[in-house]
Amino acid sequence: MSTAPFSRNGTPPETFVLNLGPQHPATHGVLRVKLTMDGEYVMRAEPVCGYVHRMHEKMGENRTWAQFLPNTSRIDYLSAMNYTHAFVGAVERGAGIAVPPRAEYLRVITSELNRISSHLVWFGAFLLDLGGFTPLLYAFDDREQILDLLEGVCGARLTYCYYRFGGLCNDVDDNFIEGTRAFVRRMQPRFKLYHQLVTENIILRKRLEGVGPITAEQCRKYGASGPVCRGSGIPYDLRRAEPYSIYPELDFDIPVFSEGDCLARYLVRMEEMRQSLRLIEQALNRLPDGPVVAEKVPRTIKMAPGDYCFAVEAARGRFAVRVVSDGTDTPYRVKLRTPSFSNLSLFEETSAGMMLPDALALMGSLDLVIPDIDR
Amino acid sequence: MNADLAALAERCAVLFPEGVQLIDYAKRGFHLDLKVDPSQVVEAARLFEGEGFAIDTLTGVDWIKEEQFEVVYDYYHPRHAWRVAVRTRIPRDNPTLPTISPVFPGANWHEREARDFFGIHFAGHPNMEPLLLPEDADYHPLRKDFAA
């Protein structure tokens, strides 16, 4: 436990317990943090999870492979495309189903659109945490375009279930292609605006620069991934590390900042959105014709006994699915390894000794989605 | 990279002579599979910590017919992109394992989750309180004999 600076000259710290949440705007959902405070300094921050626990993993054991698929879009509700990708990927791997190229391209396009929309929510909400209201309105205006596009292809605005075993449930139409191209054109100059409006703002800089440092070693020992580890100098991105879909064929950079502070994580996500636009543009230009679902997908999925893993780079980091099959039509075990869970687990260690408003900046920079922690 | 992976498998085989197996990543989604004795999980964690691995997750599987829990520790290497699964089996009527949280502090929460879902006790764990289930929960929902 660390002590506040003013407690060091012989006076014993006067501590009190402060409850943050479970209903608090800064926790973005139902997360409770039990804070032991010395004045305005956090001595210990103990997250109390489980308020939105739904036992998805048990649900996986009492329904068929296909029936569980919609569950996976309700874990991290901001990156449903990525999450369904991991589950269909695990099943396709286990059952040996090959996916047609057009479907893989469309998966990348929709996954990257989803990543941008997720980062835009983070951008708006994070600045809201820091006391700036306006950027949220800009971010949600952009995000609305993505939600409309994705609603057009799969009917849902948030909890997408667009991917199916062996491909997709629908092909896209010209409206989607044109709309996505228009969105890419619209979005490119927006980053200049965001940087002028927000990144270069002196107040933001003072709130984020040097605040909440996380070391690469901490990321490794806690399994923190995604923008959190890339903001601490680890160039770990599943799209390159464990390449899946058609990412190996596409050209993109992995933004890495080594400072490890809140600003580094901020900059990683801002740059990632630009890289996602690059990916979308390339995938649109190369989009092949053909079917969007494999020809021979059995109605009842059965796979050889054993366990199969599939990991994707979701907006918050490494989302991995481990399915254990006993050869029947229902999973024997579905393990969901979610990035928010691991990213939050290092909060207790890294927030000790921080001032409360800085600890909230740190929490915001982790980009937590609470149902993703609680599952 | 494959030569390095084979070298890693050899280093593992020195410590764990039985049950080191290279896996076809394309078919299964991980590279290396280790079967270890329950008493060796901390040693395995130390080995992979020293090799620069990060903790991915750990979880149980209830093999009720064999009256055993399988516990799988997943590690990934942030630079080499390897994935390793370390497996061990413990009896269902006395599910106890040593904690690996001093080696990987991130395991703290994963072990608490395994306690919630399976009732596995991790000896030496600093805080075996429920994490995701209510504080008064006296059930373990991922046991196969727990009816949903």
Residue ranges making up the domain that contains B35: 2-123
Residue B67 lies in a domain: yes
pLDDT given at position B118? 92
Q: Name which of B29, B79, B146 is nearest A90 (Cβ-Cβ).
A: B29
List C-alpha distances in Å: A300 to A48, A67, A116, A227, B99.
40, 11, 34, 38, 40
Is A74 an interface residue toward B (CB < 8 Å)? no
pLDDT given at position A328? 87
Residue B131 lies in a domain: no
Instruction: Measure A25 CA to nearest chain B CA, in Å.
Output: 21
Give chain A's end-to-end CA distance (angstroms, integer): 30
Q: Tell me the one-letter amino acid at A38.
A: D
Q: Along the 375 residues of chain A, how does pLDDT read in single tens digits? A: 444 555 556 666 678 888 887 777 666 778 888 999 888 889 889 999 888 899 999 998 888 898 999 999 989 889 999 999 999 999 998 888 889 999 999 999 999 999 999 999 999 999 988 888 888 999 999 999 999 999 999 888 889 989 989 889 888 988 999 999 999 999 989 999 999 888 988 889 999 998 989 999 999 999 999 999 999 999 999 888 888 889 999 999 999 999 889 999 999 999 999 999 999 999 999 999 889 888 888 888 888 898 899 999 999 999 999 999 988 888 999 999 999 999 999 999 999 889 998 998 999 899 888 889 988
Pick the CATH number of A56-374 from 1.10.645.10, 1.20.58.390, 3.40.50.720, 3.40.190.10: 1.10.645.10
pLDDT given at position A7? 53
* Among A138, A103, A108, A136, CA closest to A122: A136
Q: Phi and psi dihedrals of A167, rounded to 5?
A: 160, -130
Give chain B's end-to-end CA distance (angstroms, integer): 45
pLDDT given at position A12? 66
* Among A26, A67, A43, A144, CA closest to A349: A43
Are A222 and B106 an interchain contact pair (Cβ–Cβ within 8 Å)?
yes
Is A213 an interface residue toward B (CB < 8 Å)? no
Is A332 an interface residue toward B (CB < 8 Å)? yes
Report H helices in chain A.
56-61, 65-68, 80-95, 101-129, 134-154, 174-194, 202-208, 216-222, 227-230, 238-241, 262-286, 339-345, 347-351, 356-365, 370-374
For A62, which DSSP code?
A: T
Are B74 and A320 an interchain contact pair (Cβ–Cβ within 8 Å)?
yes
Length of chain B: 148
B-contacting residues in A 94-113 (Cβ below 8 Å): none
Domain of B73, CATH number, reads 3.30.460.80
Which token pair is A23?
A: 């209903």
Instruction: Measure A113 CA to nearest chain B CA, in Å.
Output: 25
Residue B99 lies in a domain: yes
Are A49 and B132 an interchain contact pair (Cβ–Cβ within 8 Å)?
yes
Which of B132, B135, B143, B144 to probe by mutation at the A interface, max A CB count within 10 Å?
B132
pLDDT given at position A10? 62
> Could you tell me the mean pLDDT of each successive run of 10 residues in chain B, 148 residues long?
75 79 81 87 89 90 90 90 90 91 92 92 89 88 84
pLDDT given at position A300? 83
Q: What is the DSSP string of A282-327?
A: HHHHH---S-SB-S---SS----SEEEEEEEEETTEEEEEEEEE-S
Q: Name which of B25, B56, B141 is nearest A55 (Cβ-Cβ).
A: B141
pLDDT given at position B2? 65
Is A271 an interface residue toward B (CB < 8 Å)? no
Contacts of A219 in chain B (CB under 8 A): 54, 78
Q: Name which of A53, A90, A335 is nearest B132 (Cβ-Cβ).
A: A53
Total count of domains within chain B: 1
Residue B114 lies in a domain: yes
* Among B62, B81, B97, B116, CA closest to B4: B81
Contacts of A320 in chain B (CB under 8 A): 56-57, 74
pLDDT given at position A263? 93
How far apart are alpha carbons B46 and B51 in whole angstroms? 9
* Among B54, B58, B99, CA closest to A229: B54
* Under 8 Å between Cβ of A328 and A346: no
Q: Count of CB contacts below 8 A, A vs B?
A: 113
pLDDT given at position A1? 44
Are B106 and A310 an interchain contact pair (Cβ–Cβ within 8 Å)?
no
Residue listed under structure tokens 């699915």 = A321
The residues spanned by each domain of chain A are 56-374
Instruction: Measure B61 CA to nearest chain A CA, in Å.
Output: 7
Which token pair is B11?
A: 């280093």
* Under 8 Å between Cβ of A354 and A14: no
Are B28 and A307 an interchain contact pair (Cβ–Cβ within 8 Å)?
yes
* Under 8 Å between Cβ of A229 and A219: yes
* Under 8 Å between Cβ of B32 and B5: yes
Nearest CA in chain B to A60: B142
